[in-house]
Structure 1
C-alpha cells in the first residue's frame, strides 16, 4: 500500500499534514516537480527559486532520516503533471497520492487534472489542509459568502480558534528503508540566475534555521513588535515570510509559538498574530474569488480606472530613482535583499498606483520578479488593498504621503542612509526631501508633484464612482 507525498509549498518534515498522513498509511515516497517554465509564467524571482532549491536540499536530508526517498522530476509546465504522476504511480505501485492544498486558480486546475488522471488509473488523491489555520469554506458571512473585509474575517477567526485550535503535528516515525534511490536536488536551474552570496546569507535554508529565527523573534522581539514593526531601520519584524511562503514553517507552528508566551490576545502579541491572519485572509480571498489569480481586480468596477501609460516613471520607480528618498531606499532594499519592510511595501505601492496612477499590476509583477517571499495571495492582496481595487475598508482616498511617512517612521534617516549613501551627509531634516543645492549631483529631483498627483488620483476614482 505505497503512498506518495507530492511536495509543493510545504518543504518541511515537522507538522506537515500530507507527509504525516502518508507515512501513517503505508510506505511512503516523496516527489517534487521542477517546473521552470511554469515558475517563469508566475513571475517567480530567481532568489525565490534559489531559496526553494536550497530548502529542498535541506528537506532531502530530513526525509532520508525518516527513510523516505525524494524523487525529483521535471515538467516544464503543470500541463505535463497528470501524465507524469500517473506514470510514476504505476512504476512505483503507488495506491494514493497525498497533497497539501494550494489555492491559486492554476494550482487548483492542476490538482483537478491530476486527480482525474489518477482516478482513471485507480489511484486516489487525498488533499490536506496545511497552508491555513482554517479551511476557506469553513468561514462564511451570514449571507453565506466569503469575507471581503479583514475586520469581520478577524473576528470570525478569533471565535473559531477559541473554540477549536489546530494542533501542531510532530515528526513522523521513521519507516524501514525502501528499495528506491532518491535524486539529488540541483543547485540551480537554467533561466534563473543564482543570487549573490550576500543575499543568500540573509536567508539561510532549512527547518532548523527557520525554527531558530522563529524562536529568536518570539523570545526577544515579540514584546516590542507592536511599537517597532513600522520603523524600517529597526529589527522589529520577524522576517519569517520567506519560510512561510516556501512552507518551511507552518502557520500552526507560528501560532503555537505565540501561545507559549501567554496567548495571542495580549497587546504585545496580537499585532503579530494579526499579520498571520492577514496572510490567512488573502488566501481565503484567493480561494473565494479566483479572478484575482488571473490579473483581475477584486472590485470589478475599478477595472475601468484610467491608468496612465508612463514607462519612464515606472522604470524610475522600479530602480529607486523617483527623487523621494524613502521610496528609493525601499526599492533598492528590494533589489539587494529580495525583501522589503511591510510598511514600505504599502508606501511604495500607493505611490505607484495613486501618485503615479500606474496600473497596480505592473507593481505586483515587479515585486514577484524580485521577492524571495513572493506569494500570490499576499502580494496580490497587498497590492489591491493599496490600489483601492481590493479589500480595503477605507474608500479610495486612503493615500500615504511618502514624505510624511518618511519623517514619521525614519525620523533620523537611518534607513535612507543605509540604502542611499549619496544622501548620507544630509541632516535629519533635509534627508527626507533634498531640494535645490542640497540635492547631491546624480540624485534625481522628484518625478511628480505630490499634491497635484493626489488630486489626479482622487479625481479618477470620483469619476469612476459617478459612472457607477
Structure 2
C-alpha cells in the first residue's frame, strides 16, 4: 500500500484543506499527517508567545479531528527549517513514504525550505505543493504588462473579475479511512508560553461559528461600525486565518451563502468586508513578486535614506502605552494584553511611531510581531509600510494621522480609552483627549503622563526628514546617471 504524508504548517484544519483533501482522494492509500515545530526558527522570525500557544491549542483540536477520520497524526520538534527537512527526508526513507503533500507558504525562508525539500528528498518520494491559504494564487493577477500590480484598487478590480470567472468552493473534510488512527500526545513546544485571551477560543468549530455568526449578525452594519474600536464591529477572524484554522475560501463561501449578489454591490457591507480579504491576498501576492519585502527592505528605495531617531525612552513609552496620547496608549495596551488590535488603531499607532516619533518602521513591525496573536509577515509588513509611506500603494508621506483628531472621530466619548487606560475613567467625555487640561481646571489627581511630544512640531520635523531623504536620493540618482553616461 502506498504511503502519503501530509505536512501541516499554517493550515490547521480538516475542512477545505487542499493538501489533505488531495492526499485522501484514494481510499486504497495510507495517509499520515505530521506537524513539525521549529522553535529556533520561530524565534528568528519573532513569533509571539501568544501565537505559539494558539498554534498549540488549535493543534490539539486538529489532532482529535484527524483521529476521528482515522488518519494517524505525528508530531516532531526540531530547531529550524533545515532540521525539519532532514527529519522529513529520513522519515520518508525509513517509512517508505512515496508522496509528501503540503500547502505552500509564501515567505522567502519558507519557499527556500520547500525547494530544499524537493531537492533533497530523493527520487523515491514526490513532493506535491498546493495553493491553499489564498483564494487566487500569487502570479495569477497581473496587469497588461504581465507584472504584479503595485496599487491595491486595480488589483482588486482584476481580482474580482477573475474570481467571477472562476469556480471556487470549499473542499469537504476527509472521509473516515480504514485501519488508521492512533493519538500521539503533543508536548508543548520549547517556546515561551502565554495564555490566549478568551476572546479567541480554539478549534475549527469555534472559528466557523464565529464566521457564520458574523455574516448573519455583524455584517449588515459592518460599514457603519468597522472603524469604531469601542464596539465589536469587526469579525476578529484574523488569528484563525493566520494559522489556517479557517480558510479565505470558507469566508468567501459564507458570504455567497448569505449575500449571493455581494460582488455586484460594491458599496455594501459584505463587499467592504471582502475587500479586506483582498488586501490580505494583495500582500501575499506582493511578497512573492518582490521577495525583498521579507528582508526588512522598503518598497520605495529612497525611503531607506531617512534619518531615523534613536530614542529608547520614546520607543518604550510607545510600546508600553504611556505616551500621553490616550488613543495611542489604549491601543498599545490592548495589543500588550490580548495580542490583537483593531485595524484602525494599527494605522494610528504605526503612524505615531514613524511620523511623530520618527522611529524606524521596522522596529515597530518587529514589536507588533512579538505581541500579535495574528502575526503574519505579509499583512504586518504591508500595513507598516503603508503607514510609514515606504511601501507599494502606501499613504503619501505627507499624510500623518493626528491621534487626537482620529480619537474624536472614532471614539468620541472615550469608551475604548477608558477600557484600556483606567487612569482616565473619571475624566469627563469632553476632556478625554485633553485630560491634563481638566486636571488643571479642577485640581484633580491624575496618574497619567503628559504628552511626550508636541504633535505640530514633530509633524514638521518628519516632513523635513522625508523631504531631505527624497532630495538626497534624487541627487545621487542624477550623479550616477551622469557618471554612467560619461564612463
TM superposition score normalised by structure 2: 0.93
| Separation in structure 1 between the aligned mates of residue 306 and residue 41 of structure 2, nearest angstrom | 30
Q: Are the counterparts in 2 of residues 264 and 273 from structure 1 also a CA contact under 8 Å?
A: no
CA displacement at 1:213 relative to structure 2:
0.5
**Shift in CA distance, 328/77, structure 1 to aligned 2, threshold 3 Å:** same
Query: In the alignment, what sits opposite 1:294?
Result: 295
| Count of residue pairs brought into register by the alignment | 462
User: How far apart are the structure 2 equivalents of 1:446 and 1:309?
Assistant: 19
> Mean Cα displacement is larger for which, 266-275 or 104-113?
266-275
Q: How many Å separate the matches in 2 of 1:449 and 1:392?
A: 29
Residues in 1 aligned to 2:9 and 2:350: alpha-carbon distance in whole angstroms? 29
**Match for residue 215 of structure 1?**
212
1:80–1:24 Cα change, 3 Å: same
Contact (CA 8 Å) 1:86, 1:121: kept in 2 or not? Answer: no
In structure 2, distance between residues paired with 1:460 and 1:264: 44
1:121-270 matches, cutoff 5 A: 121-178=123-180, 181-186=182-187, 188-195=188-195, 199-262=196-259, 263-265=261-263, 266=265, 267-270=268-271
State whether residues 5 and 19 of structure 1, in contact with CA within 8 Å, keep that contact through their aligned partners in structure 2.
yes
SS at match of 1:127: strand
Residue by residue over 1:82-110, the C-alpha shift from the partner in whole angstroms, topping out at 9 and shown as x without a partner, is: 21111111222210100101000010011
**1:392: how far off?**
2.9
How many Å separate the matches in 1 of 2:396 and 2:470? Answer: 11
Within 2, Cα distance between the matches of 1:453 and 1:193?
A: 38
How much does 1:361 deviate? 0.7
Deviation at 1:247, TM superposition (A): 0.1
Q: Is this contact kept in 1: 2:427–2:438, CA < 8 A?
A: no
Bigger shift: 68-77 or 437-446?
Answer: 437-446
1:266-281 mapped onto 2 (5 Å cutoff):
266=265, 267-281=268-282
Say whether 1:361 aligns with 2:362: yes
User: 1:225-248: per-residue Cα shift (whole Å, max 9, x none)?
Assistant: 011000000110000000000100
How far apart are the structure 2 equivalents of 1:446 and 1:335?
20
Q: Check conservation: 1:338, 1:371, Cα contact below 8 A.
A: yes
Report the 3-state secondary structure (helix = DSSP H, G, I; strand = E; otherwise coil) of the residue aligned with 2:35: strand
The separation in 2 between residues aligned to 1:97 and 1:190, in whole angstroms, is 26
Kindly state the Cα deviation for residue 437 of structure 1 after the two structures are TM-superposed: 5.7
Would the aligned equivalents of 2:355 and 2:459 in 1 still touch at CA under 8 Å? yes
Q: Distance in 1 between matches of 2:319 and 2:105?
A: 30
In the alignment, the residues of structure 1 paired with residue 238 and residue 206 of structure 2 have an alpha-carbon distance, to the nearest angstrom, of 13
Of 60, 75, 80 in structure 2, the residue corresponding to residue 77 of structure 1 is 80
Contact 1:12–1:247 under 8 Å retained in 2: yes
In the alignment, the residues of structure 1 paired with residue 98 and residue 383 of structure 2 have an alpha-carbon distance, to the nearest angstrom, of 40
Partner of 1:345: 346
Instruction: Report the Cα distance in structure 2 between the residues aligned to 1:463 and 1:264, rounded to whole angstroms.
Output: 46
Gapped runs of 5+ residues in structure 1? none
Name the CA distance, whole Å, in 2 between partners of 1:394 and 1:49. Answer: 32
Q: Distance in 2 between matches of 1:298 and 1:115?
A: 30
Runs of 4+ in 1 over 3 A off after TM superposition: none
| 2: CA distance, partners of 1:222 / 1:78 | 40
Could you tell me how far 1:117 is from its partner in structure 2?
A: 1.0
Compute the RMSD of aligned alpha carbons. 1.3
Between the aligned partners of 1:165 and 1:344, the Cα distance in structure 2 is 36
Deviating more after overlay: 392-401 vs 131-140? 392-401
Displacement of 1:333 in angstroms is 0.4
User: Which position in structure 1 is the counterpart of 2:10?
Assistant: 9
